[in-house]
Amino acid sequence: MPRPVRDVVFVDGVRTPIGKAGPAGMYAETRADDLVIKCIRELLRRNPGLPPERVDDVAIAATTQIGDQGLTIGRTASLLAGLPISVPGYAIDRMCAGAMTAVTTTASGIAFGAYDVVIAGGVEHMGRHPMAEGIDPNPRIISEGLIDQSAVVMGQTAENLHDRFPHLTKERADAFAVASQERLAKAYADDAIQANLVPIATRSSAQGWGLATADEAPRPGTTVEALATLKTPFRPHGKVTAGNSAGLNDGATACILAAEDVATELGLPVRMRLVSYAFAGVAPEMMGVGPVPATEKALAKAGLSIGDIGLFEINEAFAVQVLVFLDHFGIADDDPRVNPFGGAIAVGHPLASSGVRLMTQLARHFEAHPEVRFGLTTMCIGIGMGGTVIWENPHWTGETQGEKQGETQEDRTA
């Protein structure tokens, strides 16, 4: 029987404040699963029109699925968040794009008709579970030359990008990093970030209980001059530093997706409409180029061009990786459409959780920019991949950016 494909919408998204990984970080004594449980509970609190029993599945991603990030975390988090026992759940892993893949996988189920409403998200507690903890990679992947040995260290893959694209200088990377810090600081000052955050109770055996209400990683006031003095840990006299890279972080995200007709039935907000998505593989040692072919595939599937995209949320694993994307598509380093509230260099990158952070932030931008019809979220992925999701703004008025600013079609033609 032929099945109609249903429109999928992004209803709401939240995240924890992002902490620094390690014994001094604010989540050092907080469980990873408790972070994502709180996100799920907050989504249900914010959306009382959604009966918990209407949630059809819970997909939660983690890169390191061990300890308090293991045991099919989507199911255990669902139970602990108070969803009925009838609501199933599962875990998912695509390294940094785990939450992004949780969204695209469950959204496909909605479009097919298997689900009406889902919760998707991700968590990473890099303080408790460093990347690659407990893994046993098959040695043949290197001994047989399937990947270059540098591919297993993400910072080295970023240095490889500088080698391949020498015009992407350290100075450009540092300047982009400073701009990320400045944009995030301004967004906080404008009260533009806080609506996305779920306050988290924290515990410290030395200091007692606390409340995390803001990200821990930002370094406002960072200057290009200060970044120029930082060490290059991945290569002597290299170009990648702690200042032009995302840090090691702890945090979680979650979002509600629904069929558009079901969202209307339940009175749920429609913040974004899914248009297309794509994942692509690249040489693992050049991991950071992944968003380029993924975006080209997603655009082709949607029948769009890069000129149709009015807002970009690009994960800033490394500044050079973003610059590769911008140069490929002819976008300026300081284009205001790109990461308007800053990115992972400033806020942090708790691996598998970050895809939903990008989506939640894009949804906020859409509300503020009804002149923009399409936006995208994109990220590079370890072991040589990229992922891109294209979204449509339900608030789009049909008005172009120039028309919003008082420019007419005649002015543009002239």
Structure tokens at 396: 């789009």
Catalytic residue among 39, 129, 162, 380: 380
Cβ atoms < 10 Å from Cβ of 316: 27
Single-letter amino acid, residue 37: I
Cα separation, 15 vs 36, in Å, equals 8
Return the sign of the alpha-carbon dihedral for residues 236, 240, 242, 243: positive
Q: How far is CA 322 from CA 45, 91, 172, 173, in A?
A: 35, 28, 11, 9
DSSP secondary structure letter of residue 390: E
Catalytic residue among 96, 125, 129, 365: 96
Residues 6+ apart with CB under 8 A from 221: 181, 185
Cβ atoms < 10 Å from Cβ of 264: 12
Burial 378-413 (b: 16+ CB within 10 A, else e): bbbbbbbbbbbbbbbbbbbeeeeeeeeeeeeeeeee
Is 380 a residue of the active site? yes
Is 255 a residue of the active site? no
Is 395 a residue of the active site? no
Catalytic residue among 129, 162, 349, 369: 349
Nearest to 260 by CA among 392, 354, 365, 387: 392
Catalytic residues: 96, 349, 380
